Amino acid sequence: MTPGSYAIERATTASRLGAVAGAVLLAVLVALPFWGSSSDMRLLVEFLSMLTLAQMWNLLAGYGGLVSVGQQAYVGLGGYALNVLADFLGLDPFLSVFLAGLVAVALALPTAALVFRFQGGYFAVGTWVVAEVYYLLIANSSMLGGGLGRSLQALRSIPRAERERLTYWIALAVGVGAVALVYLMLRSRRGLALTAIRDSARASESLGIDVFRSKLFAYLVAAFGGGVAGALIYLNLLRILPTAAFSVNWTAAMIFVVVIGGIGTIEGPIVGTLVFFVLRELLADYGAWYLIVLGAVAIVVMVWAPHGLWGLVAARLGLRFFPVQRRVRLATVVDP
């Protein structure tokens, strides 16, 4: 075979068309404050924070093989970090959303030192225990309002319309940034290592991949994303309660979204988040039934269609909007 007879490519037709469609969609969304209502903006902030959380859990479990049931720790810590940075230290509240992510990373390091002693199912419950410890420490801290929580003061001087617009644009930046971050990370050396670990930790170790460091890196990135999303959620809600902020239902939502959409792909959590919000609107009048249906759908998908809804679509149509793998394409060789 001559060197010119094949090509290595990464982009697909879908990814090229998707990039164009994505750019148009992004432009429409950036302009939303000029054509949408404030309830549209609030719904989209919720959507984008959920999307961010789902992408982070997907990175953690779908690529890092770390099934955490304690990611609510970073939602709560991010929300409280926003309150501390903006109200107690007087920093800009919008900038504080991103600083809250760094606070989450700073706390994720000692947390990892504990929970990384566990593997598999024990890691799952271990992360949950640590999340409970953070919850109990904050719920018992009178400075942070104890069990009654507190209201964010820093935004009081900002007019409502301006506050809603800025919150929405930050949410858009965070949501798009989370997808871009995971995409770029997976295309890098580190991402290749993570993908290899997902397929076989032992084989990747024998190829010289530092499994521990790669997993730690995924854990820290997920903590950052969780902290930023948590801060964003409570920038939008303005009032934080420890029971709600550290509720395991955050992690339940992340897990169900990722599994229903399709774990181990970037498209999956996007599809899953859409399904999540459609179900939520449909079952809004039925109280707890909403979570029962979500849990049942997740179990059915895991048992009978483990690649999720996006997996079903991708298998039939071969669509890949976020190609992370390289493929060899043979050129048609014309013999002289």
Partner 1 sequence: MDWVNAVVQGVLLGGLYALFATGLSLVFGIMRVVNLAHGDFIILAAFLGVAVVGLTGVSPFLGLLVVVPVMLGLGYAIQRALLARVLDRGVLPPLLVTFGLSIIIQNALLQLFSADDRRLEVGGITTASIAITGQVAIGWYPLIVFVVGVLAIVGLQLLFFRTALGRAFRATADDPETARLMGINHRHTYAVAVAIAFGIIGLAGVFLGIRTTFSPDIGPGRLLVAFETVVIGGLGSLWGTLLGGVILGVAHTIGGKIDPAYRELTGHLVFLLVLLARPEGLFGRAVRET
Residues 284-323, interacting with partner 1 (CB under 8 A):
287-289, 291-292, 294-296, 298-299, 302-303, 306
Instruction: Tell me: does residue 121 bind partner 1 (CB under 8 A).
Output: yes
Nearest distance from C-beta of residue 77 to partner 1, angstroms: 16
User: Nearer Cβ to partner 1, position 303 or 328?
Assistant: 303
Nearest distance from C-beta of residue 46 to partner 1, angstroms: 20
Nearest distance from C-beta of residue 199 to partner 1, angstroms: 11
Q: What angle do CA 313, 317, 320 make, to 5 degrees?
A: 80
Choosing from 30, 132, 177, 305, the residue that interacts with partner 1 (CB under 8 A) is 132
User: Nearer Cβ to partner 1, position 90 or 295?
Assistant: 295
Choosing from 109, 136, 148, 333, the residue that interacts with partner 1 (CB under 8 A) is 136
* Residue window 233-252: x/- pattern of binding to partner 1, with contact defined by CB under 8 A: ---------------xx--x
Q: Which residues pair with 8 in a beta bridge?
A: 328
Q: Among 42, 48, 52, which residue's Cα sits nearest to residue 26? A: 48
Nearest distance from C-beta of residue 73 to partner 1, angstroms: 13
Choosing from 18, 33, 64, 65, the residue that interacts with partner 1 (CB under 8 A) is 65
User: Nearer Cβ to partner 1, position 87 or 132?
Assistant: 132
Instruction: Tell me: does residue 109 bind partner 1 (CB under 8 A).
Output: no
What's the CA gap between 19 and 32, in Å, rounded? 20
* Binding region for partner 1 (CB under 8 A) out of 63-71, 89-97, 163-171, 327-335: 63-71
Q: Among 199, 198, 243, which residue's Cα sits nearest to residue 218? A: 198
What's the CA gap between 43 and 150, in Å, rounded? 23
Which residues are CB-neighbours of 82 under 8 A, at least 6 positions away? 93, 96, 97, 100, 152, 230, 231, 234, 235
User: Nearer Cβ to partner 1, position 130 or 221?
Assistant: 130
Q: Tokens standing for 91?
A: 């920093």
* Binding region for partner 1 (CB under 8 A) out of 24-32, 113-121, 153-161, 228-236: 113-121
Tell me the site size for partner 1, rule CB under 8 A.
Answer: 42
The residues that touch partner 1, with contacts defined as CB under 8 A, are 61, 65, 67, 69, 114, 117, 119-122, 124-126, 128-130, 132-133, 136-137, 139-140, 248-249, 252, 255-256, 259, 263, 287-289, 291-292, 294-296, 298-299, 302-303, 306
